[in-house]
């Protein structure tokens, strides 16, 4: 997205209030609107710019087109001591996942683990948001999702049957920040392609290929090609099994069923996700475990660097640094997005951002 120099900074309470106003204006109950706003802006604070307030115009468009349910009855459709299927009733994904994460933690507190599948959900923002929820209870969090648009073929194919189905894993530490892995199973997430397009920059080789398997580096030609999975057939395998676990197993869409939410605002997406909470105390004494995680983190970070490398990071470190910086200095909003948000405000007849 545009240069930092032209970005304006907004503090998170201001952004949250704006998002909540917009969602309330299209019919969401005040408290739901507030909770979604908080999660969306948390995405921005952590640097997941493609998953936060940037999505608001699209969400509003979808809600107004009748594609999402603003007064859903999110409920447990099936459950055992340690598992459940949550039916999101076509709610915004943030609400369905927040509900599911709570169920996961309650079950984990009793049974050691809660594995919750979600169906009839929607896009919920960055995977890390939900994987991190169990951390406060000294639990490990795992999140899997079927992405909301297919951008990958099976390995060797050219038809777009797979999304960049992500995984997030959050593991608590003691003095160090928690490990928070959040990754697409493609080399680049599709949002990165959009960013290159906005910036007018070519993509590096390895992100996409065309239907002949040739490297595709011009982001304007993105529709002629597809994203490459990490590790070739391995990333394809991960996208496939994550999709079966997050989608098919819960009665949610996967494969050809997936609705491209960029092109279709009205058909329910029946998005599927999984959230797992695993209670550390049932495996190891909590402090001893967290101390061991600290040790592993330090082992990695303090180990010998390859020549030319400034620092070794652990997953989540960069996002945490961004969170700290943006919590203090505000979230940068670029001029294009700001204009979109102001237009949205005037359409909805709500108070704008600036």
- In sequence order, the β-bridge partners of residue 256 are none
Residue 244 in the binding site for its own copies (CB under 8 A)? yes
Q: Are strands 83-87 and 271-279 parallel, antiparallel or unpaired?
A: unpaired
Query: Sheet holding 83-87: strands in order across?
Result: 75-79, 83-87, 113-121, 271-279, 139-145, 167-171, 179-183
Beta strand 113-121 with 83-87 is parallel
Span of 12-20, 27-35, 247-255, 323-331 interacting with its own copies by CB under 8 A: 247-255
Among 19, 52, 279, 319, binds its own copies (CB under 8 A): 279
Q: Under the criterion CB under 8 A, does residue 112 sit at the interface with its own copies?
A: yes
Site for its own copies (CB under 8 A): which residue of 250, 269, 270, 273?
Answer: 250
Per-residue tokens: 173 = 């530490």
Q: Which is nearer to its own copies, 161 or 338 (CB)?
A: 161
Q: Which position among 280, 344, 345, 353 is part of the footprint of its own copies (CB under 8 A)?
A: 280
SS3 of 214, please?
Answer: coil
Task: Kindly tell me which residue out of 53, 60, 179, 338 binds its own copies, with binding defined by CB under 8 A.
Answer: 179
Indicate the residue among 22 and 100 with the shorter CB distance to its own copies: 100
| Of positions 30, 80, 266, 267, contacts its own copies by CB under 8 A | 80
* Residue 228 near residue 186, CB atoms below 8 Å: yes
Q: Is 286 in the site for its own copies (CB under 8 A)?
A: no
Residue closer to its own copies (CB basis): 171 or 341: 171
Which CB, 21 or 192, lies closer to its own copies?
Answer: 192
- The answer to whether 303 contacts its own copies (rule: CB under 8 A) is yes
The least distance separating its own copies from the CB of residue 167, rounded to whole angstroms, comes to 8
Cα atoms found within 13 Å of the Cα of residue 43, Cβ hemisphere only: 25
Q: Is 145 a residue that touches its own copies (CB under 8 A)?
A: no
Q: b/e for 29-62, b at 16 or more Cβ within 10 A? A: eeebbbbbbbbbbbbbbbbbbbbbbbbbbebbeb
By C-beta, is 67 or 134 nearer to its own copies?
Answer: 134
Task: Using alpha carbons, select from 93, 172, 165 the residue that is nearest to residue 131.
Answer: 172
Within residues 184-203, the interface with its own copies by CB under 8 A covers 187
Q: Does 300 bind its own copies (CB under 8 A)?
A: yes
Per DSSP (E only), the strands in 189-298 are 208-210, 215-216, 225-227, 271-279
Residue 3 CB, shortest distance to its own copies, in Å, is 25
Q: Regarding beta strands 225-227 and 208-210, do their DSSP bridges make them parallel or antiparallel, or are they unpaired?
A: antiparallel
DSSP state of 152: B
Is 56 or 171 the residue whose CB approaches its own copies more closely?
Answer: 171
Task: Residue 169: name the closest of 276, 303, 281 by CA.
Answer: 276
Binding range to its own copies, per CB under 8 A, among 24-32, 88-96, 121-129, 226-234: 226-234
Among 143, 190, 261, 289, the residue binding its own copies under the rule CB under 8 A is 289
Instruction: Tell me how far apart the alpha carbons of residues 27 and 93 are, in angstroms, rounded to a whole number.
Output: 16
**Of residues 250 and 271, the one with the C-beta less far from its own copies:** 250
221 scored as a contact of its own copies (CB under 8 A): no
Cβ nearer to its own copies, comparing 172 with 330: 172
Q: Which of 152, 141, 312 is nearest to 231 (CA)?
A: 152
* Under rule CB under 8 A, residue 248 binds its own copies: yes
Interface with its own copies, residue 47, by CB under 8 A: no
Using CB under 8 A as the binding rule, whether residue 284 contacts its own copies is answered as yes
Give 287's DSSP letter.
H
The phi and psi torsions of 296 (rounded to 5 degrees) equal: -65, -45
Q: Which is nearer to its own copies, 299 or 342 (CB)?
A: 299
Distance of CA 280 to the CA centre of its chain: 24
Which positions from 304 through 323 interact with its own copies, judged by CB under 8 A? 304-309, 311-315
């Amino acid at each position: 997205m545009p240069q930092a120099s032209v970005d304006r900074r907004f503090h998170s309470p201001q952004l949250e209030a704006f998002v909540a106003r917009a969602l309330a204006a299209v019919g969401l109950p005040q408290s739901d609107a507030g909770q979604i706003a908080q999660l969306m802006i948390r995405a921005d604070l952590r640097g997941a710019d493609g998953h936060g307030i940037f999505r608001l115009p699209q969400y509003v468009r979808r809600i107004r087109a009748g594609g999402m349910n603003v007064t859903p009855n999110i409920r447990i459709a099936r459950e055992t001591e340690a598992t459940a299927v949550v039916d999101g009733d076509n709610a915004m994904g943030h609400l369905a996942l927040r509900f599911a994460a709570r169920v996961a933690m309650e079950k984990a507190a009793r049974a050691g683990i809660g594995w919750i599948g979600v169906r009839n959900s929607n896009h919920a923002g960055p995977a890390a948001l939900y994987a991190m929820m169990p951390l406060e209870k000294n639990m490990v969090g795992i999140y899997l999702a079927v992405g909301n648009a297919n951008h990958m073929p099976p390995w060797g194919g050219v038809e777009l049957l797979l999304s960049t189905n992500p995984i997030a894993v959050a593991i608590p530490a003691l003095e160090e920040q928690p490990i928070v892995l959040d990754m697409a199973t493609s080399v680049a997430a599709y949002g990165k392609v959009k960013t290159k397009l906005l910036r007018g920059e070519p993509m590096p080789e390895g992100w996409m290929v065309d239907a002949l398997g040739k490297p595709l580096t011009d982001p304007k030609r993105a529709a002629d090609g597809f994203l490459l999975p990490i590790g070739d057939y391995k990333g394809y395998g991960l996208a496939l099994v994550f999709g079966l676990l997050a989608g098919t197993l819960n009665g949610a869409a996967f494969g050809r069923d997936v609705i491209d939410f960029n092109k279709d605002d009205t058909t329910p997406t029946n998005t599927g996700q999984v959230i797992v909470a695993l209670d550390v105390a049932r495996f190891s004494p909590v402090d001893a475990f967290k101390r061991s995680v600290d040790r592993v983190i330090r082992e990695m970070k303090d180990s010998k660097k390859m020549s030319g490398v400034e620092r070794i990071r652990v997953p989540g470190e960069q996002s945490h640094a961004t969170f700290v910086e943006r919590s203090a200095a505000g979230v940068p909003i670029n001029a294009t997005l700001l204009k979109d948000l102001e237009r949205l405000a005037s359409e909805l007849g709500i108070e704008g951002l600036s």
